[in-house]
Chain A
Amino acid sequence: MKYTIISERIGTVGEEFVPGLGTNVEALLKHGFIESDEPANDSPALKSAKTKAPAKKD
């Protein structure tokens, strides 16, 4: 995943942002300091298909 700077408070706007050790990337994304090259996915995770239990043999 690649991040781009969109706030001057982080660095030069348009340049790639490489998170340092301990950087909270989620906080920077959430408040508009950087953006990710991967689109945000707000849809819930897909559920796994339900499977029928095998019929009991008497």
Chain B
Amino acid sequence: MATTTYLSNPTLTVNSVDLQDQCRSATLTVKYDALESTAFGSTSRVFTAGLGDHELTVTLLMSYAATETYATLATLVGTATTVTMKPTSAATGATNPTFTLTGTFLEALPVIDAAYGELSEIDITFKGGVYTVAVV
């Protein structure tokens, strides 16, 4: 069977704003608290899912131009919003699902992250929110 790979080129929207052309890396992690339900009679530890604790971390090229990175994020810090990601810009489908975090919280925004002679990049993290996957 042939190896299947995927060349990273995902789409990203933050509060409905398309930031794909500013994004250099992104990791959306779906995670649940592991609640131990081991009891008498168990021979191994067993766990059950608790609360979801999802997280999206992205690295963005910083820009202060109109409707760019700063304009998108400036009033979102300290609030909850919706973010979406897709593996590619193709239509949503079973092989290109849209992952959404609704009501995810932007805790911090580095308004300046500068180094001499380098393009400015910022790392931000969206915490929590309701995770859904759409395939249509």
Interface of A is mostly: loop
Size range of the interface on B?
10 to 19
B16, B19, B102, B129 interface centre (most CB from chain A within 10 Å): B16
Count A-B pairs with CB separation below 8 Å. Answer: 57
- Classify chain A's interface size: 10 to 19
B49-85 CB contact bits vs A (8 Å, 1 = yes)? Answer: 0000000000000000011000110111001111000
| 16 intermolecular pairs with C-beta atoms under 8 Å apart | A9-B18, A9-B67, A9-B72, A10-B16, A19-B16, A20-B16, A22-B82, A22-B103, A27-B15, A27-B74, A27-B81, A31-B72, A31-B74, A32-B66, A32-B67, A32-B71
